[in-house]
């Protein structure tokens, strides 16, 4: 019997499906050995119509939940778009959109909360809003904190948790800023999501990535797993461009230094797991979002082969740093067959 702490491995299932159908997504993840996933873009009934999961109809949610039972799949979090809009109605060099906040709460935020309730998850992934492109994000922190707090309040009313992901180009683009947001907000239903690949994509090496992890550590609720190889031929302007989104690699490669922060995570996992279980999650998630065949503002793609490579790479690093995980085994198959 191992004394190692344990994580739950999950994945953004749409990255594993060539056509985004639910059948492809669940088949790929089941074959890899995963039982948890975060839905994002999905074609529930294989009709050729791909929707974001928060835009599904009542009947589509019903069909999706039936497939959960068939494949023994469970939802980790809603891979939401919440917070990926402009903070201000102001023209800049970006193509990001602005939506009046009261309207946004009643539409995108409300739909996302409904989705989480329909799919029986406690966790919602979200973001920290776009400040005017090219400007210092720090003056916009108070306004972002106010809006994130309102979203977290709505989540809390339904027993849900809002996870704020570190992401280039947003106000919360680095660990120090995200930690400041979390500290100022001090909300029991808001946690942070670390993603080393999203930091390395900002031309930061493994020690810088590790520093930002430590800055976020007290507030982390779950972690996204992808890595990135810095291309020295790409100049750095302070803003992540589309060219930079081609260099994502598995967790055992790249500049984010997964071994370093996962070794530290091992020491803090018991308290992190306890915190997340208290909030209603089944444990502490490491969620693969590899982008091995490309990434973008609202998603990425790895294919079934790429997802397999990404999960095996993560398992290899976890074995090395002595963090346990459990993939599907014969006990799961026997249970599914009613033995």
Strand 248-249 relative to strand 220-225, pairing: unpaired
Report the predicted TM-score, pTM, of the whole model to 2 decimal places. Answer: 0.95
- Mean local confidence (pLDDT), 94-98: 88
Q: Where are the beta strands (DSSP E) in the chain?
A: 8-11, 36-37, 41-42, 51-52, 74-75, 77-79, 123-126, 161-165, 190-195, 220-225, 227-228, 248-249, 285-288
Cβ neighbourhood burial of 217 (10 Å; 0-12, 13-18, 19+): middle
Reported as a pLDDT band with limits 50, 70 and 90, residue 279 is very high
Span 49-61, pLDDT tens digits:
999 999 999 999 9
Predicted local distance difference test score (pLDDT) of residue 301: 72
pLDDT tens for 137-183 read 999 999 999 999 999 999 999 999 999 999 999 999 999 999 999 99
Domain limits, the chain: 8-336
Tell me the C-alpha distance between 288 and 216, whole Å: 19
Quickly name the fold that domain 8-336 has: TIM Barrel (3.20.20)
Q: What is the pLDDT of residues 231-246, one digit of tens each?
A: 777 666 667 665 556 7
Quote the CA–CA distance of 177 and 138 in Å, as a whole number.
8
Q: Binning pLDDT at 50, 70 and 90, where does residue 95 land? A: confident
C-beta separation of 225 from 288 below 8 A: yes
Start-end of H helices in 123-246: 141-157, 175-185, 196-200, 206-216
């Amino acid at each position: 019997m191992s004394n190692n702490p344990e994580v739950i491995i999950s994945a953004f299932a749409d990255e594993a499906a060539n056509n985004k159908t639910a059948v492809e997504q669940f088949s790929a993840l089941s074959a890899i050995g995963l039982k948890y996933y975060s839905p994002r873009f999905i074609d529930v009934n294989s009709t050729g119509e791909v929707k974001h999961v928060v835009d599904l109809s009542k009947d589509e949610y019903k069909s999706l939940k039936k497939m959960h039972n068939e494949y023994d799949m469970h939802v980790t979090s809603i891979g939401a778009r919440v917070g990926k809009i402009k903070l201000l109605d102001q023209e800049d060099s970006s193509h990001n959109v602005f939506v009046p906040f009261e309207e946004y709460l009643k539409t995108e935020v409300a739909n996302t909360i409904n989705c989480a309730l329909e799919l029986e998850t406690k966790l919602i992934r979200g973001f920290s809003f776009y400040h005017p492109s090219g400007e210092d994000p720090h003056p916009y922190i108070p306004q972002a904190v106010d809006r994130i707090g309102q979203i977290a309040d709505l989540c809390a009313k339904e027993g849900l948790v809002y996870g704020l992901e570190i992401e280039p180009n947003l106000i919360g683009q680095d660990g120090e800023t995200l930690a400041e947001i979390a500290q100022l907000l001090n909300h029991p239903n808001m946690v942070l999501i670390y993603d080393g690949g999203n930091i390395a994509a900002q031309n930061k090496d493994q020690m810088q990535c590790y520093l930002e992890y430590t800055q976020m550590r007290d507030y982390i609720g779950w972690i996204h797993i992808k890595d990135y190889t810095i291309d020295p031929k790409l100049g750095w302007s302070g803003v992540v461009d589309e060219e930079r989104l081609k260099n994502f690699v598995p967790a055992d490669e790249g500049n984010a230094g997964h071994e370093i922060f996962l070794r530290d995570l091992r020491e803090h996992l018991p308290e992190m797991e306890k915190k997340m279980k208290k909030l209603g999650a089944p444990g502490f998630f490491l969620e693969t979002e590899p982008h091995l065949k490309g990434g973008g503002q609202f998603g990425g793609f790895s294919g079934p082969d790429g997802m397999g490579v990404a999960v095996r790479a993560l398992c290899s690093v976890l074995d090395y740093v002595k963090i346990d995980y459990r993939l599907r085994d014969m006990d799961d198959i026997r249970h599914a067959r009613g033995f």
